[in-house]
Amino acid sequence: MTKHPSVPRIELAGGARARGRRYGEAAGQQISVSVSCYGEMFAVCGMNWQQVAERARPFEAVIERAFPAALEEISGIAEGSGVPFSTLLALNARTELLPPDYRARVAALARAATLAGGGINECTSFAVAPTAAPRQGSGAGDGVWLAQNWDWLGGQRAALVLLAVTPSQGPRYLTVTEAGMLAKIGCNQHGLGVTLNILRSFDDGQQPGLPVHILLRALLSCQSVAQALEFARAQPRYTSSSNVLMADAGGAIASLECSPRGLRELRPVAGKLWHTNHFIDPEQASRDANLAGNTSTIARYGAAGELLGSGLAPMSLAAATRVLSDERAGFDSICRFPDPAVPRAARVETVASVVMNLTNRELWVSRAQPSLGGFAHHRLAPGSGAAPSMVAAQRHDDNEHP
């Protein structure tokens, strides 16, 4: 099995446009990988980049209303990388722009029925909080933990970057993301962390709403799960379905199932919550477009619940990695290796694995399947460089607060 080097870390600071410019300069090669990868995927769906950019235009106004600093960041990335703003906007809205039936279109490429078993599905995430108040720095097993395997097309491994960001306004944060995109999996100096599971509803793709990757960037400017939920609830609509599992250093955990029908909040049981790629909320589940013939998301959800309930507590990096490394269900496992029988355009695998201790503001990332090891450690110091209070932030000095 191939071992991969660490995810490149890029330090960004200053205002939104300056940060974006530096991002574009530093990650030009990785951004080109993203553009190429999604260009191929959109082509499978019958769209070229010109058509994709045209379809992305309505999202600009939505982002301007919800979190305008994101457009400044994207403009800066365009200036630094030489990639058109329209292409980068489309990258940040790629979840919403891929048509609701794109999995079926990809499946049509298959030589066999492998994809009907769920090979195009992706991502397992979980959060664990101690039953008592967390004690910062009191040992590896203490604290609030949030983790995810990001499963996607293996070619995007070369596009991964870790952004270590110090905004001129708002909290510092770390995020592992696809180059050209503002955020994905990460945590901030307040101890708020976010992860992502893609869902699919029969209602997806009808009206422009806030792109989920812009939502994740905005949430990393919040101080707590409560504030993040407030921001998410305030959005008029979401174009496509997804689940954002979040937690904070105070022990709050919530899973937010977003769809064009609205938001549904899931709460932990005994301090634990996990999610894969199907709706858990009964009302949302009635519109789930991801379950027909699918075994992967069900298998992974069951395996995560079994492992989290099997005496792993107290949670630790080793325990979290053990959950993420589970391979018992073969190609349907939490830790996923590529199925050679599946066409390259649909060959999903665990591209990266991320574990966060939110109490200590620590993040470990592996640019490969977690069972192969190779986790790199990153940390935000919670006691220094504190961001302005949210009272001050309400002045929206540079539009970087939700």
CA distances to 5, 76, 88, 97, 174 from 39, rounded to whole Å, are: 25, 22, 12, 12, 27
pLDDT of residue 386: 39
- pLDDT tens, position by position, 184-240: 999 999 999 999 999 999 999 888 999 999 999 999 999 999 999 999 999 999 999
pLDDT of residue 394: 26
The total number of residues shown for the chain amounts to 402
Pairing mode, strands 160-167 and 173-178: antiparallel
Q: Measure the CA–CA gap between 331 and 394, rounded to whole angstroms.
A: 47
Residues of the chain with pLDDT under 50: 111-119, 132-140, 383-398
Tell me, yes or no, whether 68 lies in a domain: no
pLDDT of residue 314: 78
Tell me, yes or no, whether 157 lies in a domain: yes
Tell me, yes or no, whether 97 lies in a domain: no
Q: Measure the CA–CA gap between 253 and 230, rounded to whole angstroms.
A: 14
Tell me, yes or no, whether 66 lies in a domain: no
Tell me, yes or no, whether 147 lies in a domain: yes
Q: Measure the CA–CA gap between 370 and 321, rounded to whole angstroms.
A: 7
pLDDT of residue 104: 63
Find the radius of gyration of the CA atoms of the chain: 19
Tell me, yes or no, whether 238 lies in a domain: yes
pLDDT of residue 389: 27
CB 397 within 8 A of CB 167: no
Instruction: Give the count of domains, the chain.
Output: 1
Q: Give me the CATH number covering residue 192.
A: 3.60.60.10
pLDDT of residue 327: 96
Domain range for 126: 118-383
b/e burial code for range 310-328 (CB count within 10 A of at least 16 → b): eebbebbbebbbebbbbbe
Tell me, yes or no, whether 113 lies in a domain: no
Among residues 311, 335, 344, 360, the alpha carbon closest in space to that of 143 is found at 360
Environment class of residue 242 by beta-carbon count within 10 Å: exposed (0-12), middle (13-18) or buried (19+)? buried
